[in-house]
Each structure stands twice: as structure tokens, then as C-alpha cells.
């Protein structure tokens, strides 16, 4: 059974540069950081990048929300998808005062996308991270919500149905961005809210990047029975990259959602404490 979102993974071109942005500009906590200099076969299997090395792996937190930055060698294409293309994404982190954070961000982030605006009971401002991902502050996200992940979908209803297999449940309060140009379906899993955003008038055409391309996104869900959850996703028709394989601390399976975003099911033999101290130990 899938019980929670374990992490959101972003592929970056420079781990140190991105870590500086997310900590100094967006106020996330650096939980752990490590580099790599050898090929780990399981990396190529799980991420479908044969012979890949993860040069840098950095885990950041914002409350109970974890963001992991991966720097690959070989590195894929240097780009992030435009937000209207299937698989395009934005990240929002909970803010107590967007106006104050905006004033602070103006002096530290070179590419502010928007000043604070109000919509649907929330105040938001977004900046571009070093690799072109739109990330920002969201005020009044809602009770118990630490972050918002917005994924552009070719069919919002199809994506919502797909992610219901991962334990996401409808969250109508996050449908409030819908208008004549967009259809938005809101869902949540634990402290993370999701929006599946379908562009009605200006649909993009390009799908999400291969996993080692800069700007690619991966959603890692914790499962206490990877085999059973994998079988259910297969029956749904999910695109599978890797059936369950042993990782040394449990098992993992990966595939693509309807928009080309990679998902991963993972377990630590059914036990995964959710504390920063735990992650500092296993990623040191």
C-alpha cells in the first residue's frame, strides 16, 4: 500500500548551485549532501540511464516536504519544459508572508517571474531556479500543507485517475485555478498538494524529458508492498521502466505517468522513519 510521498526529485545541472538557490533564496533546510564517482548498476536500472553516475545527490526539506536534487553524469539536454507542455511543472513552498519573502527574493534571485498576486484565496510569487524550473512561495496553502506540486497534463482527468492509484485523494480547494484557458484538478497526499493543470487553448506538444535531462521530475512514493502496488499500476496500464528490483535497503520500481513524468515506488523493507536525522545518516 502506498502511504505517502517520499520525495520530489529534480534533475539539475549543478548540484551546489541549485542547493544554494533553494536554501538561501527559498529557505529550505539542507538535510544531506553527497557526491559520487563510480557507476552504481542499480542507478541505471531504476532510472533507465545505463552506466549513469549520480555526481551529486542533495536532500532538502521544508517542513515534512523533501526535495532531492540529482546531478547526473552523463548529463542530458540542458533544458526545462515550458509549463504548457505535458510534464511541465511548478513547485510552491508554504510561506507565512509572501510580500516579505518577495522583497527578500528580489535581492537574491535574478529572474523573478511574477510579483505577488492573489488567486483563489492564496497569494503567490514565483521565481526561476538556476535550471529554469518555476518555484515560489504560496501563502495560505491550507492546513497541514507544506508544498504544492503543479504538473501540466495532456488530460487532467486522466492524470487524476492515474494518481489515485498512488493514494492521492481529491482536494477541491486546489481546483480554484480553473478558468476558460485551464482545467485544474486538485489532489493531495499527506502534506503535499497536487494540481493537474490542463491547458485548454494552448496545449504544448513535447513530453517530459528522459530522466537525466536537466529539468526532469521524479515522484518517489513510499510503499509497504512494492510488488502489490506495481501489479496494480500494471493493470491500470502504466508505462513501466523497471519492475521491482532490490536496492539493498528494500525494493524499487519505476515508470512514467501519462505525461512522461517518472514515478518510483520504494520501500526500506517496510520501515522508513521520516526524520531529517534518518536521511542525514543514509545520505551522508
* pLDDT value of position 42: 65
* pLDDT value of position 77: 86
| Side-chain half-sphere CA neighbours of 75 within 13 A | 15
Residue ranges of alpha helices (H) inside 48-136 are: 98-106
Task: From residue 2, give the alpha-carbon distance in Å to each of 162, 164, 168, 197, 221.
Answer: 13, 10, 9, 23, 7
Q: What residues contact 122, with CB distance under 8 A and at least 6 apart? A: 138, 139, 140, 141, 176
**Residues paired with 183 in a beta bridge:** 198
* pLDDT value of position 148: 94
Radius of gyration of the chain measured on its C-alpha atoms: 18
pLDDT digits (tens, 9 = 90+) for 243-282: 998 877 788 899 999 999 999 999 865 444 445 454 444 4
* pLDDT value of position 83: 86
pLDDT digits (tens, 9 = 90+) for 29-45: 999 888 765 555 666 67
Structural contact between residues 204 and 152, judged by C-beta atoms closer than 8 angstroms = yes
Residue 274 DSSP code: -
Q: How far apart are CA 137 and CA 119, in angstroms?
A: 13
* pTM attached to this predicted model: 0.88
Q: What residues contact 191, with CB distance under 8 A and at least 6 apart? A: 63, 64, 65, 144, 145, 146, 147
Q: Which domains, and CATH codes, for the chain?
A: 2-79+210-282 (3.10.180.10), 89-199 (3.10.180.10)
Q: What residues contact 201, with CB distance under 8 A and at least 6 apart? A: 180, 181
CA angle 50, 217, 140 (to 5 degrees): 160
Task: From residue 227, give the alpha-carbon distance in Å to each of 223, 234, 250.
Answer: 9, 11, 11
Which residue pairs from 165-172 have beta carbons closer than 8 angstroms and sit at least 24 positions apart in sequence? 165/2, 165/229, 165/232, 165/233, 165/236, 165/238, 166/2, 166/219, 166/221, 166/263, 167/1, 167/2, 167/3, 167/4, 167/221, 168/194
Residue 48 DSSP code: T
Which portions of the chain are predicted below pLDDT 50? 270-274, 276, 278-284
Amino acid at each position: 500500500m502506498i502511504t505517502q510521498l517520499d520525495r520530489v526529485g529534480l534533475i539539475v545541472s549543478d548540484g551546489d548551485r541549485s542547493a544554494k538557490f533553494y536554501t538561501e533564496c527559498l529557505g529550505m533546510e539542507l538535510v544531506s549532501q553527497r557526491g559520487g564517482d563510480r557507476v552504481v548498476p542499480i542507478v541505471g536500472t531504476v532510472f533507465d540511464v545505463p552506466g549513469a553516475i549520480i555526481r551529486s545527490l542533495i536532500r532538502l526539506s521544508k517542513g515534512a516536504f523533501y526535495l532531492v536534487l540529482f546531478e547526473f553524469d552523463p548529463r542530458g539536454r540542458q533544458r526545462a519544459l515550458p509549463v504548457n507542455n505535458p510534464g511541465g511543472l511548478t513547485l510552491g513552498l508554504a510561506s507565512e508572508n509572501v510580500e516579505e519573502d518577495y522583497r527578500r527574493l528580489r535581492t537574491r534571485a535574478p529572474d523573478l517571474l511574477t510579483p505577488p498576486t492573489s488567486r483563489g484565496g492564496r497569494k503567490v510569487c514565483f521565481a526561476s531556479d538556476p535550471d529554469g524550473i518555476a518555484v515560489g512561495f504560496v501563502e495560505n496553502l491550507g492546513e497541514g500543507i507544506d508544498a504544492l506540486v503543479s504538473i501540466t497534463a495532456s488530460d487532467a482527468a486522466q492524470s487524476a485517475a492515474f494518481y489515485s492509484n498512488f493514494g492521492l485523494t481529491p482536494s477541491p480547494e486546489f481546483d480554484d485555478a480553473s478558468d476558460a484557458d485551464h482545467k485544474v484538478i486538485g489532489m493531495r497526499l499527506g502534506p503535499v498538494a497536487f494540481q493537474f493543470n490542463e491547458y485548454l487553448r494552448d496545449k504544448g506538444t513535447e513530453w517530459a524529458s528522459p530522466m537525466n535531462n536537466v529539468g526532469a521530475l521524479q515522484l518517489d512514493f513510499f510503499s509497504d508492498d512494492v510488488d502489490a502496488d506495481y501489479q496494480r499500476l500494471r493493470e491500470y496500464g502504466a508505462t513501466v521502466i523497471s519492475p521491482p528490483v532490490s536496492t539493498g535497503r528494500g525494493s524499487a520500481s519505476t515508470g512514467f505517468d501519462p505525461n512522461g513524468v517518472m514515478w518510483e515506488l520504494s520501500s526500506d523493507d517496510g520501515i522508513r522513519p521520516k526524520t531529517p536525522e534518518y536521511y542525514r545518516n543514509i545520505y551522508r
